[in-house]
A and B are shown apart, each in its own frame.
Chain A
């Protein structure tokens, strides 16, 4: 029994976006793109490794040089901070509450990167009792982004599971892979804002081993406020 194919179905089959050729073409393009991204990712990662190493060495050199001359080397002030909210949402006064919202620290143990300048330092001053913050090093930034990095895609929080995801969103800022993202965040580049807003606020675990007392500042053997480089050890416990 021969069935007559309805005309609408015939017409549908003809339409371009259903045809095999178009699908194949698209697939090929995508594969090509993935390969490109892969190559770029390799090269850039290599470049950045060298860069980080050089930076370290340079710092050491300058310090030694200063010692020799009998003076001291004043390191440049840190540009990047990582803030972790360590107090809950109950009983927070309006001004710190607003600032925490602006910084995307909406729940306890959430963390964000922030560029340090006069304005942001002022903001941090207000929210000191509710957060702990410090200057992360490369490995911390890497661990956070690799292990707990989620992207804001279509108003959704999606784990970054491929460089293609980063390419799609941040290609126009010349950020195409994870290492690019890490570099942009760590060195607070020109497109720090876009790289940072691409990342959803980090959701960390409560620290292994616990806190001493959140009510006191770090300086007073507590936990809140600026803890400079010790943020790195804390993040290791919370990641």
Chain B
């Protein structure tokens, strides 16, 4: 269910004359199946293994000697060596995968698992995806098909195509409808295969051109058989390996009208099961509407959303702030009272200082006063002492002698 190509009506074109719509046909539900490249890749890589042919190495390769190890003490490696003499081969190493002429490591066996089982539903899912992708022009173009000149994609053509018998007619039709450019590309790029396949009967490599899908083979198979690059297929047996060659979706397909209509029956829809694949409904996509941006922007979603959280510039970022004890502005922001506090402290300090000063001054003054008065007394005493000093001394001397 791609929103880009929800085209319910598809034009049917004639096979000759004028390129214009002769009829209109509803688009089968398969073309709205989910396009899952991962599923297609998985199924393709496993499906591609199923046409392999077994190959192996001969069981006796490298073992057809009676070589024995010489053991130790002979200054040679202990690998088994060919017995005998008289030939260059004698004494040569044998048997090991490292030896010249020895058997390989893990010789390949035929009973290797060549084929892969894939779940039926997965296979069908992949085919539905691949068919849906054939209607998506960018996918077809990216696969490399030259689809610029086509009138429409998916290209549906009248049933008369099924009755073509001659290759000339087929080519004429392709040119008429604008699909021959793709064929020209195939012819132009035919190359010798790179590698050893070229001398193993796989000499040439061709691109894939348009694929013609029919409902009834009334000669169409033979008509398109010899055109390089073009493949035909019955709509009942669409092969993933052809719908998505190299697990790359978007093969250029030319549908006949009845084949196109049959797709609805063969693959069913989401409501009605397939008529040919029992119990099979078309796979459901994980998301029906993949335009996520539009869904988010729609009114229904936006009105129910909570308001956008404000970008917390407050403390969203890692904020470095200065040390409040060094930067006053930071301190004041955190504690507006701080400046007042400092002021008060200062005032208190000054007040204390003042008081102290007063006390100190007062006591100093008292001391000085006391000093001053005591000096005066001393002077008076000294004067008194000087006057009567001689007499006193004489008396003292006399007394001592006695």
Contact = CB atoms under 8 A, between A and B. Distances in A.
A and B co-occur in one complex: yes
A12 B303 CA distance: 10
B268 to A, nearest CB: 37
Nearest to B338: A45
Interface residues of B, number: 26
B8 interface: no
Contacts of A163: 333-334
Given A45-B337, A143-B325, A147-B324, A159 B307 contact: no
Contacts of A49: 337, 341
B373 interface: no
A159 B321 contact: yes
A162 B341 contact: no
Given A8-B297, A11-B302, A17-B307, A162 B333 contact: yes
A179 B298 CA distance: 50
B335 A164 contact: no
A174 interface: no
B219 interface: no
Interface string A143-177: 10011000001000011111111000000000001
Interface stretch (B140-148, B312-320, B376-384): B312-320
Contacts of B308: 17
B26 interface: no
B387 interface: no
B336 A161 contact: no
A178 B320 CA distance: 17
A175 to B, nearest CB: 13
A106 to B, nearest CB: 21
Nearest to A15: B302
A41 interface: yes
Given A16-B307, A153-B315, A164-B314, A159 B320 contact: yes
A179 B315 contact: no
Contacts of A159: 319-321
A42 interface: yes
B299 interface: yes
Contacts of B330: 161
Contacts of B302: 11-12, 15
B315 A178 contact: no
A165 B314 CA distance: 8
Nearest to B326: A147
Interface string A111-151: 00000000000000000000000000000000100110000
A179 B334 CA distance: 8
A17 B340 CA distance: 42
A161 B323 CA distance: 10
A150 to B, nearest CB: 11
Contacts of B331: 146
Contacts of A146: 324-325, 331, 334-335
Nearest to B339: A42
Interface string B265-279: 000000000000000
Contacts of A41: 335-337
Interface in A36-53: 38, 41-42, 45-46, 49
Contact of B334 (A12, A46, A153, A162): A162
A147 B337 contact: no
A27 to B, nearest CB: 10
Given A12-B302, A158-B319, A162-B314, A177 B307 contact: no
Contacts of A46: 337, 340
Nearest to B306: A17
B325 A147 contact: yes
A160 B333 CA distance: 11
A177 B331 CA distance: 12
A161 B335 contact: no
A26 B313 CA distance: 14
A182 B122 CA distance: 70
Most buried by A among B307, B318, B324, B336: B336
Contact of A161 (B307, B310, B321, B337): B321
A66 to B, nearest CB: 27
Contacts of A161: 315, 319, 321, 330, 333
A164 B333 CA distance: 10
A121 B279 CA distance: 76
A45 B315 contact: no
B307 A178 contact: no
A48 to B, nearest CB: 9
Interface in B281-329: 297-299, 302, 307-308, 310, 314-315, 318-321, 323-325
Contacts of B338: 45
B337 A42 contact: yes
Contact of B337 (A143, A164, A179): A179
A111 B338 CA distance: 26
Nearest to B309: A17
Nearest to B321: A161
A158 B315 contact: yes
Interface of A: 8, 11-12, 15-17, 26, 38, 41-42, 45-46, 49, 143, 146-147, 153, 158-165, 177-179
12 contacts: A8-B297, A17-B307, A41-B337, A45-B335, A46-B337, A49-B337, A158-B319, A159-B321, A160-B334, A162-B333, A177-B334, A179-B337
Given A11-B302, A38-B336, 15 more contacts: A8-B297, A11-B299, A12-B297, A15-B302, A26-B310, A41-B337, A45-B335, A46-B340, A49-B337, A146-B324, A147-B323, A159-B319, A162-B334, A165-B315, A178-B334
Of all A-B residue pairs in the complex, the 5 with the closest CB atoms, nearest first, are: A45-B337, A17-B307, A42-B336, A8-B297, A161-B321
